[in-house]
């Protein structure tokens, strides 16, 4: 028997988000045209109520009213991926670290490429802040939702004025669809 999977959609400044839950924990936050997402499955059931708490917290995050999510998470991946994703939760709002630093933090100092691959497969975007990981010299590299969205999230967390973000997000998201 297949375990129950529930989903809901919500609007965001980054475009529509797909929220996924097993009924108890948040298991996915996916952006439109996100890399490494195999798509909705036929057995998934829509349940907006089940994902109400996640939606409320994401809306508060986008409104600059929340910096740290308090949601039950179930991170589905390999042991190594889960170690990487759990460490992402320790990166403070508005700050970034390099892939190399993330590798050091999980006691795998020579695994920055593997860390990058695991980071790119994070199933719970935004809530598990994979967008806070950058290249060694602070360059924007890799993001499953596209680099314009990564830039938007980092700017949002750094307090870039809303008017600029709104203008930038419209231009950037137009490019996201053409990146595929």
List residues with catalytic annotation: 130
What is the bridge-based pairing of β-strands 6-10 and 45-46? parallel
Distance of CA 167 to the CA centre of its chain: 22
Q: Which residues contact 151 (CB under 8 A, 6 or more apart)?
A: 140, 168, 172
Residues 14 and 59 sit within 8 Å (Cβ to Cβ): no
Q: Which residues contact 142 (CB under 8 A, 6 or more apart)?
A: 116, 119, 120
Tell me the backbone φ, ψ of residue 20, rounded to 5 degrees: -130, 140
Strand partners, 20: 7, 28
| Of residues 144, 116, 155, 112, the one with CA closest to residue 36 | 144
């Amino acid at each position: 028997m297949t375990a129950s999977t529930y989903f809901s959609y919500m609007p965001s400044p980054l475009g529509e988000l797909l929220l996924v839950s097993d009924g108890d924990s948040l298991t996915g936050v996916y952006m439109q045209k996100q890399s490494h997402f195999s798509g909705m499955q036929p057995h998934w059931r829509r349940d907006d109520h089940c994902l109400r708490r996640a939606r409320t917290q994401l809306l508060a995050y986008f409104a600059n009213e929340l910096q740290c999510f308090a949601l039950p998470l179930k991170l589905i991946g390999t042991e190594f991926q889960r170690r990487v994703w759990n460490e992402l939760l320790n990166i403070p709002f508005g700050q970034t670290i390099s892939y190399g630093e993330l590798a050091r933090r999980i006691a795998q100092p020579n695994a920055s490429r593997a860390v990058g691959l695991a980071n790119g497969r994070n199933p719970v975007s935004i809530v598990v802040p994979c967008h806070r990981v950058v290249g060694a010299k602070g360059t924007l590299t890799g993001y499953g939702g596209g680099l314009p969205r990564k830039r938007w999230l980092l700017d949002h967390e750094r307090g870039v004025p809303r008017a600029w973000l709104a203008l930038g997000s419209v231009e950037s998201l137009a490019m996201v669809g053409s990146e595929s």
